[in-house]
Amino acid sequence: MFESLWKVIWLGVIAMPLWTSGRMDAATSEMASAVLWVVIVLAVTPWRYVFRSFVTAKGDPWRSGATHNH
């Protein structure tokens, strides 16, 4: 998720302003074309499953101290 988040932020904060002002250089254009794949990944991600499995699911309780099976 972090990978997708930084790519979306980079596209919005760096690439989009340069592209809309016509000041995007070749290196930034190449980076933007590589980073744009995140749009496809986000589009095909099963968000209901992600939310259900990682946000609302109950996890195992944290154990303090040593864990011994007696």
Residue 15: predicted pLDDT: 95
Consecutive 10-residue averages of pLDDT for the chain (70 residues): 90 95 95 92 92 86 64
Residue 48: predicted pLDDT: 94
Rounded CA gap, 67 and 70, in Å?
10
| Sign of the CA dihedral running 36, 38, 41, 42 | negative
What does the buried/exposed string (b/e) look like for 29-41 if buried means 16 or more CB atoms within 10 Å of the residue's CB? eebbeebeebeee
Residue 69: predicted pLDDT: 59
Residue 55: predicted pLDDT: 87
| Alpha carbon distances (Å) from 8 to 25, 27, 41, 49, 70 | 19, 18, 11, 21, 49
